[in-house]
Chains A and B, each alone.
Chain A
Amino acid sequence: MKTKILIVEDDKLVSFEIQSILNQNGFDSTICESYNCCIKNLDTFKPELILLDIDLSKKYEGIQIGSYLNSKSRIPFIYITGYTDSETLKRIQTTKPVGYLSKPFREVDIISNIELALYNKKSSLDNIGDHEVEEDSKYSKPIKRALEYIDTNINQEIKTDELIRVSGWSKFHFIREFAKEVGKTPYQYIFDEKMKLASSKLKNTYQTVKEIAFDLGYTSNSSFTNAFVKHSGISPSSFRKKYCR
């Protein structure tokens, strides 16, 4: 079976070129142009590797996806970018990519980066010990399903009824077990995850506060600002000033 690679790039010429190169070299690939499309394809396309443009939508959305992949998945990813300044390099290092392709690139650059990343992934999987197995079994299956549902739908309003439905448990049992296994209530967990994502977007993208509020499922700028102040102690714009370059 061919190795599946997801290309996350909004420049149609570059993405088509990469896809042609991958096809010629025996890979199966698909193209995404946005954050949402990428997250959706993690489940539907199930890529083994991701090529990720840093400056997606001209808002550094690629770094945001990188942060998401680093914290939520084991899929290795390689950044593609024209940026080679030290500040950008420092920012992307925190998201732990397995490679970095600087534009303009050659076919051999893409293929060698991919081959190396896949080799390293295979080696690390071979070395997985009992510790990881234990890590996997940290949550019961119904709670895992609920957590996955939250991850996938973090950009929308998430209703507890939906979480109860995916868990397959009764309301009372679900809320009690969730708090026991995760250490906080579903509401608190969703709130913390949204605020984590908001912080990452404020730090790593040029999206306006209003856009971020909308992306996280908030219906107004003020309700998002209030929530953010409650969580971080400062307003979103002050947070951005403090942490952004």
Chain B
Amino acid sequence: MTNKLKENSDGLKEILDKTLHRFKNNLQTQLSLMNIQSATNRQYFDDRKVIADRIFALTYLYDLFYRTNKEEALPSDTLISLQSYLLQFLQYLKSSTSEIDFELTDTSHLKVDVDDLLILAYILVEINDFRMSLNDRMVLEFSHNKKKLSIKFSYTSIENHEKFPDLFEKQFKIFDLLVKQLKGKYDYKKKFVRLLLPIL
């Protein structure tokens, strides 16, 4: 009995240490994004909204992480439901505009590491800022194949998305770093841009 209590206490301490570590890393990412913004002269359409969106992305993530593991005495992994998180975060983005359409195929069985999900949310924030700077409508489609998440996005006013990187050349660096952080690949098509992210 005593041994079991000690094991639980050690396990809890380890989880608290890991959570604190993760949270500090997440804050570092937020800071890094702001500093890279200054260093690369990245002009956002609305700086304040981008920062608020990132903070909400982080908040939703920890909310969901907490709810996912609430029933477990000692959670053993850091995976959370991709679908739950995306639905919540996309609804949040949509709450300030009617110019976002999204389609999400059934991903209810898929779980993703919290750190990767956060970077994914930041990618969506960038894509949404591109939309705002175009004063445009955007369509997002999420699907999955094997271990990869596919995100297709397109803007109504862009006729040829193959020129997407050139069009946003000055704003591209942070978006590109985020995609690379997830080891993602681009696929530029006329009608859309597809990101393939091996995070599943």
In the complex, A16 has a CB within 8 A of chain B? yes
A105 close to B35 (CB less than 8 A): no
In the complex, A137 has a CB within 8 A of chain B? no
Residues of A within 8 A of B24 (CB): 82, 84, 102-104
Asked if A17 meets B36 with Cβ closer than 8 Å, knowing A12-B177, A12-B180, A82-B28, the reply is yes
Q: How far is the CA of A103 from the CA of B31 in the complex (A)?
A: 10
A24 close to B39 (CB less than 8 A): yes
Minimum CB–CB distance from A146 to chain B (whole Å) comes to 38
Q: How far is the CA of A80 from the CA of B127 in the complex (A)?
A: 30
Asked if A105 meets B177 with Cβ closer than 8 Å, knowing A13-B36, A20-B35, A83-B21, the reply is no
Asked if A104 meets B28 with Cβ closer than 8 Å, knowing A13-B33, A20-B36, A21-B35, the reply is yes
Q: How far is the CA of A111 from the CA of B185 in the complex (A)?
A: 34
In the complex, A85 has a CB within 8 A of chain B? yes
B36 close to A103 (CB less than 8 A): no
In the complex, A107 has a CB within 8 A of chain B? yes
Residues of B within 8 A of A24 (CB): 39
B22 close to A17 (CB less than 8 A): no
Q: Which of B22, B24, B27 has the most CB of A within 10 A?
A: B24
Q: How far is the CA of A13 from the CA of B17 in the complex (A)?
A: 23
Minimum CB–CB distance from A89 to chain B (whole Å) comes to 12
**B29 interface neighbour in A11, A85, A105, A107, Cβ under 8 Å:** A11
Asked if A82 meets B22 with Cβ closer than 8 Å, knowing A13-B36, A103-B27, the reply is yes
Main secondary structure of the interface of B (DSSP, over half): helix
Asked if A14 meets B28 with Cβ closer than 8 Å, knowing A20-B35, A20-B39, A24-B39, the reply is yes
Minimum CB–CB distance from B50 to chain A (whole Å) comes to 15
In chain A, positions 72-121 with a C-beta closer than 8 Å to chain B are: 82-85, 102-105, 107
Minimum CB–CB distance from B185 to chain A (whole Å) comes to 15
In the complex, B32 has a CB within 8 A of chain A? yes
Residues of B within 8 A of A21 (CB): 35, 39
Residues of B within 8 A of A85 (CB): 17
In the complex, B181 has a CB within 8 A of chain A? yes
B29 close to A14 (CB less than 8 A): yes
In chain A, positions 4-26 with a C-beta closer than 8 Å to chain B are: 11-14, 16-17, 20-21, 24
A17 close to B35 (CB less than 8 A): yes
Q: How far is the CA of A83 from the CA of B14 in the complex (A)?
A: 12
Q: Mark B171-182, 1 if CB is under 8 A from A, else 0.
A: 000000110110
Q: How far is the CA of A139 from the CA of B54 in the complex (A)?
A: 57
B25 close to A13 (CB less than 8 A): no
Q: How far is the CA of A11 from the CA of B20 in the complex (A)?
A: 18
Minimum CB–CB distance from B30 to chain A (whole Å) comes to 8
Minimum CB–CB distance from B32 to chain A (whole Å) comes to 4
**B28 interface neighbour in A20, A105, A107, Cβ under 8 Å:** A105
Residue of B nearest to A12 (CB): B181
Q: How far is the CA of A21 from the CA of B35 in the complex (A)?
A: 9
Asked if A16 meets B32 with Cβ closer than 8 Å, knowing A83-B17, A85-B17, the reply is yes
Q: How far is the CA of A215 from the CA of B30 in the complex (A)?
A: 34
Q: How far is the CA of A17 from the CA of B40 in the complex (A)?
A: 10
A16 close to B28 (CB less than 8 A): no
Q: Mark B1-33, 1 if CB is under 8 A from A, else 0.
A: 000000000000000010011111101111111
Q: How far is the CA of A83 from the CA of B18 in the complex (A)?
A: 8
A11 close to B181 (CB less than 8 A): yes
Residues of A within 8 A of B28 (CB): 11, 14, 82, 103-105
Residues of A within 8 A of B35 (CB): 17, 20-21, 107
What are 23 residue pairs bridging A and B, where the CB atoms are less than 8 Å apart in the complex?
A11-B25, A11-B28, A12-B180, A13-B29, A13-B36, A13-B181, A16-B36, A16-B177, A17-B31, A20-B35, A24-B39, A55-B21, A82-B22, A82-B25, A82-B28, A84-B24, A102-B24, A103-B24, A103-B25, A103-B28, A104-B24, A104-B30, A105-B31
Name B residues whose Cβ lies closer than 8 Å to a Cβ of A. Answer: 17, 20-25, 27-33, 35-36, 39-40, 177-178, 180-181
- Top 6 nearest A-B pairs by Cβ distance? A20-B39, A82-B24, A17-B32, A103-B28, A104-B28, A13-B32
